[in-house]
């Protein structure tokens, strides 16, 4: 019996023979399917080859950008947001006009937006690796600089911060989502142009993406409690793990924190995130300042046409006096000025005074020329600066005041070495003071606000003290009765003024400065060993000053008591 597959029907209307010319219909169907498959495979290969050739023929778009252009975009975005407001919506037309001049090739606004999106994705990928515990490896300085600018732009300071890492899933509506909306608009235009669709049709794709995002809102809300718990755990591990607790105590305290009420946990979580945000702000400010500092140093170096040694000298000495085409630093000028004043005082002004007191009188005269001007210049330099922290960078005006004081103390130090080499106390005081000024001026380039504040308190009594000293030097001279009257008249008010400044205001300012440095306010700017050295020098000077004025008060009261006794005896 023949099976149905072996029967052939050439047509529905009649039978046919079983020859090769009219094969069975089943066999015809198989051959047709095989030929069809071969044709489709050939078409696919041709299509794939054509697509590959087209792709190879078109140059990649990212070749138009170089590292300098990427840095120009990032730096331009930082500056543009700083001028228009960090949280304001980006006006891409305005930003394109703002930054296109710094790019070496002509690009469109869409290309600029697309490149910005890629730079953001690159930064987020780097941050994801850092979050996983992998340190970034930058082989070129441009990569480090680009990462710093990206931190300023996309490491949001007001977004949620959990476990020390920015949660990229929760972005604020005011800043980052607006930025992402602009990027999606660029993708719509780009996708519509490539696919031949109208922008209206391309919007449907974004609507689907938006719908998908909204659909996950419930899940994000469900994960909110986990986020709070993670924040509390991170706060405990960061702040309490170094308290010397045993493993059992740590476990017990952590379990108590995890079992707190929802409201209390959320309060702790929000406070911890706020602290992390403040820390991030500080890091961003440091990065921003580092970028400005590097830019200023590079500009100064590139504009200098002198040798490398001269360039190194000109960087820390920011102000100088120009005489013709020669630039002379401040310090030699000031030193020459004080030395000239001293010599004039010694050989001309006080030439008729006794040889024993002429050097001291000359020292008082240069102190007069230093004290009051230093108070005025230091006050102006400190309050004219926008940043007056004890760790802020020295300004040019502040460096000039430091040079002015260094020149005076050098001149007076030479005076003591030549005329009073046995006065170890004053020689040690001047050496220690010069150490503070020189390290602040030429070593760390920070902390001038603190040092100049101490200088103001030290020199505000200078005019009165020098007049009192000059009068005291002549009071034993029988020919100078005026000196005795001036000395007796100035002593009580000078002692009182000096006691208030050195005994009250000085210690208060000193305590505030030490507390600031001890809390780490100058971490990374002023080494611990240096600010501790400053504290020792200043603390010792204040202590000696208090002992000195205390001894003067005792002598004054003893002398007046003795005079009163002599008067009483004469009356009797």
Half-sphere exposure of 332 (CA within 13 A, CB side): 7
* Averaged pLDDT of the chain: 74
Res. 251: pLDDT tops 60: yes
Tokens of residue 441, six digits: 């001026």
- When pLDDT is cut at 50, 70 and 90, the band that residue 328 belongs to is low
pLDDT at 51: 47
Q: What is the pLDDT of residues 14-73, one digit of tens each?
A: 444 444 444 444 444 444 444 555 555 555 555 554 444 444 444 444 457 788 888 888
C-alpha span between 464 and 254 (Å, rounded): 63
Range with the largest mean pLDDT of 153-162, 293-302, 349-358, 373-382: 373-382
* Better-predicted residue by pLDDT, 119 or 258: 119
pLDDT at 85: 61
Percent of the chain with pLDDT over 70: 66
Q: What is the pLDDT of residues 167-216, one digit of tens each?
A: 433 343 344 444 444 444 444 444 444 444 444 444 444 444 444 444 54
C-alpha span between 562 and 134 (Å, rounded): 80
pLDDT at 513: 95
* Better-predicted residue by pLDDT, 363 or 78: 363
Residue 128: closest CA among 72, 168, 176, 80: 168
Tokens of residue 320, six digits: 């100088």
Phi, psi of 165 (to 5 degrees): -130, 140
Q: Which residues pair with 326 in a beta bridge?
A: 323
349 Cβ neighbours under 8 A, 6+ residues apart: 361, 362, 365
Handedness of CA 445, 447, 448, 451 (dihedral sign): negative
| Section 542-563 average pLDDT | 91
pLDDT at 391: 92
| Section 74-86 average pLDDT | 74
Q: What is the pLDDT of residues 474-483, one digit of tens each?
A: 877 766 778 8
Res. 454: pLDDT tops 90: yes
C-alpha span between 5 and 563 (Å, rounded): 147
Residue 426: closest CA among 437, 414, 438, 436: 414
pLDDT at 63: 57
Residue 192, Cβ density class (10 Å: 0-12 exposed, 13-18 middle, ≥19 buried): middle
- When pLDDT is cut at 50, 70 and 90, the band that residue 527 belongs to is very high
C-alpha span between 114 and 61 (Å, rounded): 10
Residue 204: closest CA among 233, 178, 227, 184: 184
């Amino acid at each position: 019996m023949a099976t149905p597959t072996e029967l052939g029907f050439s047509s529905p209307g009649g039978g046919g023979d079983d020859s090769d010319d009219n094969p069975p219909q089943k066999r015809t169907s198989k051959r047709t399917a095989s030929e069809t498959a071969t044709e489709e495979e050939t078409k696919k290969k041709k299509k794939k080859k054509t697509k590959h050739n087209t792709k190879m023929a078109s140059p990649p778009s990212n070749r138009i950008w170089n590292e300098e252009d990427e840095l120009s975009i990032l730096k331009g975005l930082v500056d543009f947001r700083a001028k228009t407001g960090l949280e304001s919506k980006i006006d891409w037309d305005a930003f394109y006009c703002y930054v296109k001049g710094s790019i070496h090739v002509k690009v469109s606004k869409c290309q600029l937006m697309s490149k910005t999106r890629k730079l953001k994705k690159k930064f987020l990928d780097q941050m994801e690796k850092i979050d996983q515990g992998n340190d970034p490896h930058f082989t070129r300085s441009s990569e480090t600089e680009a990462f710093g600018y990206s931190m300023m732009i996309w490491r949001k300071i007001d977004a949620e911060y959990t476990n020390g890492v920015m949660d990229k899933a929760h972005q604020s509506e005011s800043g980052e989502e607006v930025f992402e909306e602009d990027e999606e608009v660029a993708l719509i235009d780009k996708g519509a142009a490539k696919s031949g669709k109208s922008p209206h049709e391309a919007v449907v794709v974004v609507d689907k993406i938006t719908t998908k995002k909204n659909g996950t809102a419930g899940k994000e809300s469900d994960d909110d409690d986990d986020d709070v718990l993670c924040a509390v755990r991170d706060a405990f591990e960061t702040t309490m793990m170094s308290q010397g607790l045993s493993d059992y105590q740590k476990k017990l305290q952590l379990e108590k924190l995890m079992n707190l009420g929802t409201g209390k946990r959320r309060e702790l979580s929000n406070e911890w995130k706020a602290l992390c945000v403040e820390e991030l702000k500080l890091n961003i400010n440091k990065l921003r300042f580092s970028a400005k500092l590097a830019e200023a140093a590079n500009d100064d170096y590139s504009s200098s046409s002198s040798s490398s040694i001269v360039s190194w000298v000109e960087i820390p000495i920011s102000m100088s006096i120009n005489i013709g085409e020669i630039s002379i630093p401040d310090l030699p000028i000031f030193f020459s000025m004080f030395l000239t004043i001293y010599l004039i005082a010694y050989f001309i002004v006080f030439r008729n005074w006794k040889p024993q007191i002429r050097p001291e009188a000359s020292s008082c005269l240069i102190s007069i020329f230093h004290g009051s001007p230093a108070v005025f210049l230091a006050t102006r330099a400190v309050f004219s600066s926008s940043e007056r922290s004890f760790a802020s960078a020295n300004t040019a005006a502040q460096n000039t005041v430091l040079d002015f004081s260094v020149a005076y103390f050098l001149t007076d130090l030479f005076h003591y070495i030549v005329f009073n080499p046995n006065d170890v106390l004053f020689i040690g005081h001047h050496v220690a003071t010069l150490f503070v000024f020189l390290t602040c001026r030429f070593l760390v380039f920070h902390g001038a606000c603190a040092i100049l504040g101490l200088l103001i308190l030290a020199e505000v009594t200078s005019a009165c003290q020098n007049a009192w000293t000059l009068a005291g030097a002549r009071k034993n001279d029988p020919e100078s009765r005026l000196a005795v009257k001036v000395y007796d008249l100035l002593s009580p008010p000078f002692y009182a003024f000096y006691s208030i400044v050195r005994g009250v205001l000085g210690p208060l300012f000193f305590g505030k400065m030490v507390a600031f440095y001890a809390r780490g306010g100058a971490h990374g700017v002023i080494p611990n060993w240096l600010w501790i050295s400053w504290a020792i020098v200043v603390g010792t000077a204040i202590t000696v000053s208090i002992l000195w004025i205390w001894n003067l008060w005792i002598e004054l009261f003893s002398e007046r008591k003795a005079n009163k006794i002599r008067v009483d005896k004469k009356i009797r």
